[in-house]
Amino acid sequence: MSTKISNENEESLSIPIFSTATFGQGCFWCTEAIFQRLEGVKAVQSGYSGGVIKNPSYREICNGNTGHAEVVQITYDPSVITYSDLLEVMWKTHDPTTLNRQGADVGTQYRSVIFYHDDEQKKLAEEFKEKLNGSGAFNKPIVTEISPLKEFYKAEDYHQQYFNLHGDAPYCQFVIVPKLNKFKEVFRERVKK
């Protein structure tokens, strides 16, 4: 999707129109690393959403009492990748059947959640979840929360681009690298070249 801008003295310019998606899949370092590698994704920012306090810190999030989840906010070009495509990646790159947990990360801050930005995103997320539950793709029911995005708070700078900057760290090697390898295998046609 793009908009054309022109005037009498200039050639027509095509400016992309970007859309936004917000997902929580456990640790945002993992989720950020996955979505950054998708064709059509312009930017991914780690942050917090879904809680009751304003401008939470990572320390506050970790105590599990804020109601916020670790999330990523994805800016993407819908003419290259659709919201449904993003949902497919989201569902297939974490376990949406575990409540408040992904791997060794436990607590409400690690819950599986889709924060929708409009009614169309809500509809697509609910339909996709229902379809997956009916398909038997998972042997347990999907517990992913689907809620309206009320506020997104950017995480501290040291959380941004975490895998890109600290890929050799033990957590990255033991947790993120296997997820990235699986992602690249399943979505090889959609990975940025």
Residues marked as catalytic: 27
Torsion angle of the four alpha carbons 116, 178, 34, 132, in this order, in degrees rounded to the nearest 10: -30
> 101-102 and 41-49: which strand pairing?
unpaired
Tokens found for residue 22: 């917000």
Cross-strand bridge partners of residue 2: 16
Give CA–CA dist 4/130, Å, rounded.
38
Q: Are 108 and 48 in contact (CB under 8 A)?
A: no
Q: Are 18 and 75 in contact (CB under 8 A)?
A: yes
Please, what's the b/e burial string for 23-54 (b: 16 or more CB within 10 A of its CB; e: otherwise)? bbbbbbbbbbbbbbbbebbeebbbbbbbbeee
Helix (H, G, I), strand (E, B) or coil at 140: coil
